[in-house]
Amino acid sequence: MQPFNPWTWRDPSALAGGYDQTSPDDVPRQRLAGDGDDGPDAPGPGTPIDLTGYRVEATDGGIGSVARADTGAGYLVVETGPWIFGKTVLLPAGTVARVDHLDRVVHVDRTREQVKDCPAVDPEGVDRAEYRDQVGHYYAESYRQG
């Protein structure tokens, strides 16, 4: 079994457009023209998707929405909204269980409490090695405990 890498996407194909996927076990089905789900601007396979604005759902309810997504660096910056006083959190890509592009929802495999207890986001240093180590360690520990 490979060790958990918080900064690696589990399913990189979930970041590409033109597919319907509702669970991690489903085989993505390419949308076909005229099937009612695509408009004239529907992205095709391999088109990168900007996750900004997608809702974020934990295993036990809503967390907030994606304020910024850096898919190359492997993280999402999430505005949590009023449930934890508008805290902004950094979610490593490894916490993403699946992405539902039709409903614009990112599903993470952590609870609301685990997200609430994560280190506060450092807006100046999301790419600083020390900060990423701190966040990565927090999520790696949550997997070992869970």
Provide the 10 A C-beta neighbour count for residue 74.
19
φ/ψ of residue 53, rounded to 5: 95, -15
Sequence ranges of the domains in the chain? 12-145
Whether pTM exceeds 0.95:
no
31-86 tens-digit pLDDT:
444 444 444 444 555 566 789 999 999 999 999 999 999 888 899 999 998 777 77
Compute the distance between CA of residue 83 and CA of residue 112 in angstroms, rounded to an integer: 10
Angle formed at CA 82 by CA 5 and CA 125, multiple of 5 degrees: 40
| CATH homologous superfamily of 12-145 | PRC-barrel domain (2.30.30.240)
Please, which residues have CB within 8 angstroms of residue 54's CB and are 6 or more apart in sequence? 65, 66, 99, 104, 105, 106
> Up-side HSE of residue 21: CA atoms within 13 Å toward CB?
24
Measured between alpha carbons, how far is 12 from 75 in angstroms, rounded to an integer? Answer: 13
Highest mean pLDDT (candidates 71-85, 100-114, 126-140): 100-114
